[in-house]
Amino acid sequence: MTAALSVSSVTRRFEPTEPPALDAVDLDVAAGTCTALLGPSGSGKTTLLRTIAGLEPAYSGTVRLDGADLTGVAAERRGMAMVFQRPLLFPHLSVHDNVAFPGRARGLARAAAREEAARFLDLVGLSHLTARDVRALSGGQQQRVALARALAARPRLLLLDEPFAALDPSLADEMRELVLELRAVLEPTVVMVTHDHEEASVLADDVAVLIDGRLVQHEPVEAIYRRPANIAVHRLLGGVNELPGTAGAGRHRSALGELDLPPEALGVTGEAVLLVRHEQVRLVAPADPAAHLAGAVETVRQRGGRRRVTVCRGGVQLVAEVPVTHPVRVGEPVGLVVPPDAVWPVLAPGGDQPSGQVVDSSSGASGRSSSVPAKWLK
Amino acid sequence: MRPGPPARLLLVAWFLAPLAGMTLWAFADQWTAATVLPQDWGLRGWREALADGLPGALLRTVVLSSTVALLATPAGAMAARGLLRVGPRLRAAASVLLVVPVVLPPLTVVLGVDVLLLRLQIPAAVGVVAVLVVQALPYTTYVMWTTYQAYDEAYEDEARTLGASALRALLRVQLPLVAPGLGAASFLALLVGWSDYIVTLVVGGGRLVTLPVLVASNAAGTGNEPVVAALSVVAIVPPLVLLGAVGLLGRRGRRRAPTRSSVADTADTAQVAGVAS
């Protein structure tokens, strides 16, 4: 039921004079895995998904499913199914007949299609709502039906286009849990579009970052958080710390102090911005021998059950996220513990790039094994 | 502003008064001006109407108006879908062009067109249908235009990714969702054909005798009130019945078809309606 997806140098232009919506995108998704397409609004995520689905026929490059070229293959013959942000349940059909729609389209008799539909409705926990009018369902239930209907198409590749973005947070969490369960049971190959890095990290094995129609980086979830290709990727992943300074001899120097670089980036030399995951920074007393950096508390911002403390020295700021119980006062001097696996350097454009370690960001998709990014923002 | 009860009564009377007179006349053998009700009741009007070719005229009217509706509705629907895809300038030009058949006096157009059709040796019946389809197009196009503005093409994308062919997506998804609009559009097109007199008379050369033509020729004589009334009743009842049917379909459709922005609203309304019923 699952298949490997391979997208190579796909370019999609809407207007000849405008920059392309998709610019030579390469993307490989192994069978049975889930890749999240992460990017800001207008980055081309949805266009890429629609191109894979066959809904945007005018593209160059190739989309392959298990090696078979899908150029010129109509959407309904691609063996995929898509769930959109809006549930798009057919309002003239009951819940049951909505889920039976793919079976009917495949040529099943009405009874057989409905029997199959009942199984998928059961899978998403809605077997009690079978006879219901689709408009009588809540938003979460509608999206569950949409998911069941997509699965009933028995897709070799399941495409999800921000399917939970319109749901309130607790419902969206429930839906993510459901998708995880479904992944465990059915093991479909999944490509999902999201602008929420947390959703991507919950559901996906891999994250592929699209910015301005280019695939900037494609790596497993842990790797991409630890080694963002550039500042834009770091920001998309919720990162807030960018320390300007210089790298050399395995260390990074900024106005806040010196930090060890992670083992994979020891060779980075030159003007470099150090990206720091705020979740891993700890606040300690200024005299603490474990402290790597020191500064004064500038602001304290409550954020849910945590608080974000901005520490400043010499015009350079670093944010640490600490438990809400952590005592901290504005203006007091503090020490900062920053473990090496919380930092990642990115070189300034034109900086001294150590050979064999730097990948151009535009070829980041193929650079899953390589580690050091090249550019600042692009 | 909602009219108050007396105004509403007046309005109803305004619509019903001519119908009441007509219905009474259809069953009156004699009714001189002085009395409120006919002096002699009877079926003289109906007997004369049947003898004068009522069944044939009814059949011709049904065939003519259905043909007009069957041609003008899909054409209007396709025009409407096309208009949603073109730029604003072309759309503005098209909407002006569309009202031309409604704005121009039919008689002037028909006299000119008739000469053209005769020169081209186009059969009279084909000519009548062609001219009436043009007159019906503004109505069908405008109705389908508003229908498609509220229709979300993403439903078809969804159907396609679920394995439905383009044809299946059209028949099983698009058509059911725009059915209320199609019903209203074809009703208006049907009415254009059903009630036409001038085009049928002039382009048809007087040989295509439909109900309006038959009514008019009888109304020209004196003492024919019962037969004119009987013919008029036959001409009026079918569209009224259809209007009721389209109205019901439209109400069901409005509950059914959610628009781009109001999927959630519709769901809420449906829930409320479900609770209320």
Q: Mean pLDDT throughout A80-107?
A: 94
Give the contacts of A180 (CB within 8 A, at least 6 positions apart).
Answer: A202, A203
- Give the C-alpha distances (Å, rounded to integers) separating B276 from B200, B265, B269, B271, B272: 50, 16, 10, 9, 6
- CB–CB of B165 and A74 under 8 A? yes
A138: closest chain B residue by CA: B267
> Two tokens at A311?
């520490």
A82: closest chain B residue by CA: B161
B174: closest chain A residue by CA: A90
Task: Name the minimum distance, in Å, from the CA of B145 to any CA of chain A.
Answer: 20
pLDDT of residue A1: 63
User: Are the CB atoms for A6 and A28 separated by under 8 Å?
Assistant: yes
CA-CA-CA-CA torsion for A355, A358, A363, A365, nearest 10 degrees?
130
Cβ contacts (< 8 Å) between B173 and chain A: which residues? 90
Q: Mean pLDDT throughout A187-199?
A: 94
pLDDT of residue B154: 93
B252: closest chain A residue by CA: A92
Give pLDDT tens digits for A9-38. Answer: 999 998 888 889 999 999 999 999 999 999
Give pLDDT tens digits for A294-303. Answer: 999 999 999 8
Interface test with A, best of B155, B156, B160, B161 (most A CBs within 10 A): B161
SS3 (DSSP) at A190:
strand
User: Are the CB atoms for A276 and A288 separated by under 8 Å?
Assistant: no
pLDDT of residue B275: 33
pLDDT of residue B224: 81
pLDDT of residue B220: 85
Cβ contacts (< 8 Å) between A78 and chain B: which residues? 161
pLDDT of residue B107: 84
Type of residue found at A264 = E
Tens-of-pLDDT digits for all 277 residues of chain B? 566 788 888 988 888 888 888 888 888 877 777 777 877 788 888 888 888 888 999 999 999 999 999 999 999 999 999 999 888 899 899 889 988 888 888 888 888 888 899 899 889 899 999 999 999 999 999 999 999 999 999 999 999 999 999 999 999 999 999 998 999 999 999 999 999 999 999 998 888 899 999 999 888 877 788 888 889 888 988 998 888 887 777 666 555 544 443 333 333 333 333 333 3
Is A55 in CB contact (< 8 Å) with chain B? yes
pLDDT of residue B191: 94
Strand order in the sheet with A68-69: A22-29, A5-12, A60-65, A68-69
Q: In chain A, where does DSSP find H-type helix?
A: 45-53, 95-105, 110-123, 139-152, 169-186, 197-203, 221-226, 231-236
Question: In the predicted model, is pLDDT for residue A355 greater than 90?
Answer: no
SS3 (DSSP) at A191:
strand
The DSSP H or E segment spanning A15 is: none
Cβ contacts (< 8 Å) between A90 and chain B: which residues? 155, 159, 173, 176-177
Q: Identify the residue with better confidence: A237 or B263.
A: A237
A157: closest chain B residue by CA: B161
pLDDT of residue A65: 95
- CB–CB of B270 and A150 under 8 A? no
Q: pTM of the full predicted structure?
A: 0.80
- CB–CB of B161 and A106 under 8 A? no
SS3 (DSSP) at A125:
coil
Type of residue found at A66 = D
pLDDT of residue B252: 64
Cβ contacts (< 8 Å) between B161 and chain A: which residues? 53-55, 75-76, 78, 80-82, 150, 153, 159
pLDDT of residue B253: 56
pLDDT of residue B3: 67
- CB–CB of A133 and B274 under 8 A? yes
The DSSP H or E segment spanning A248 is: strand A241-248
Is B162 in CB contact (< 8 Å) with chain A? yes
Q: Mean pLDDT throughout A122-131?
A: 90
Indicate the residue of A82, A135, A137 with minimum beta-carbon distance to B158: A82
Residue in the structure block whose two tokens are 């959630």: B264
What is the distance between the terminal CA atoms of chain B, rounded to a whole angstrom? 29
The closest alpha carbon to A346, from A213, A222, A216, A212, belongs to A216
The closest alpha carbon to B84, from B1, B141, B13, belongs to B141
The DSSP H or E segment spanning B212 is: helix B211-219
Spatial separation of the C-alpha atoms in residues A227 and A219, rounded to whole Å: 9
User: What letters, b where the CB count within 10 A reaches 16 and e where it falls short, cover A279-297?
Assistant: eebbbeeeeeeebbbbbeb
pLDDT of residue B52: 86
Q: What angle do CA B185, B190, B195 make, to 5 degrees?
A: 130
User: Are the CB atoms for A290 and A283 separated by under 8 Å?
Assistant: no
Confidence of residue A376 (pLDDT cuts 50, 70, 90): very low
Is B150 in CB contact (< 8 Å) with chain A? no
Confidence of residue A225 (pLDDT cuts 50, 70, 90): very high
Cβ contacts (< 8 Å) between B168 and chain A: which residues? 105
pLDDT of residue A239: 94
User: Are the CB atoms for A211 and A48 separated by under 8 Å?
Assistant: no
Residue B7 CB coordination number (10 Å): 11
> Two tokens at B70?
């069957």
Indicate the residue of A54, A91, A102 with minimum beta-carbon distance to B162: A102
DSSP character string of A283-299:
EE-TT-TT-SEEEEEEE
Q: Identify the residue with better confidence: A349 or B45.
A: B45
Task: Name the minimum distance, in Å, from the CA of A70 to any CA of chain B.
Answer: 14
pLDDT of residue A109: 95
What is the Cβ-side half-sphere exposure of residue A174, based on CA atoms within 13 angstroms? 12
The 3-state secondary structure of A333-357, one letter per residue: EEEEECCHHHEEEEECCCCCCCCCC
pLDDT of residue A373: 41
Give the contacts of B134 (CB within 8 A, at least 6 positions apart).
Answer: B101
Strand order in the sheet with A257-260: A257-260, A251-254, A241-248, A270-276, A343-347
Least confident span in A42-56, A71-85, B99-113:
B99-113
pLDDT of residue B1: 59
pLDDT of residue B227: 87
Q: Identify the residue with better confidence: A345 or B51.
A: A345
Residue A330 CB coordination number (10 Å): 11
User: Are the CB atoms for A11 and A60 separated by under 8 Å?
Assistant: yes
pLDDT of residue A178: 93
The closest alpha carbon to B54, from B270, B209, B252, B188, belongs to B209
Residue B40, Cβ density class (10 Å: 0-12 exposed, 13-18 middle, ≥19 buried): exposed
- Give the C-alpha distances (Å, rounded to integers) separating A113 from A83, A107, B146: 20, 9, 35
User: Are the CB atoms for A199 and A11 separated by under 8 Å?
Assistant: no
User: Are the CB atoms for B196 and B129 separated by under 8 Å?
Assistant: no
Between strands A80-83 and A157-161, the pairing is parallel
Spatial separation of the C-alpha atoms in residues B49 and B229, rounded to whole Å: 9
pLDDT of residue A348: 72
Give pLDDT tens digits for A136-169. Answer: 999 999 999 999 999 999 999 999 999 998 889 8
pLDDT of residue B44: 84
Cβ contacts (< 8 Å) between A50 and chain B: which residues? 157
Is A90 in CB contact (< 8 Å) with chain B? yes
A77: closest chain B residue by CA: B163
Residue A302, Cβ density class (10 Å: 0-12 exposed, 13-18 middle, ≥19 buried): exposed
> Two tokens at A164?
């939970």
Spatial separation of the C-alpha atoms in residues B95 and B99, rounded to whole Å: 7
Is A107 in CB contact (< 8 Å) with chain B? no
Spatial separation of the C-alpha atoms in residues A282 and A146, rounded to whole Å: 44
Task: Name the minimum distance, in Å, from the CA of A178 to any CA of chain B.
Answer: 20
- CB–CB of A153 and B161 under 8 A? yes
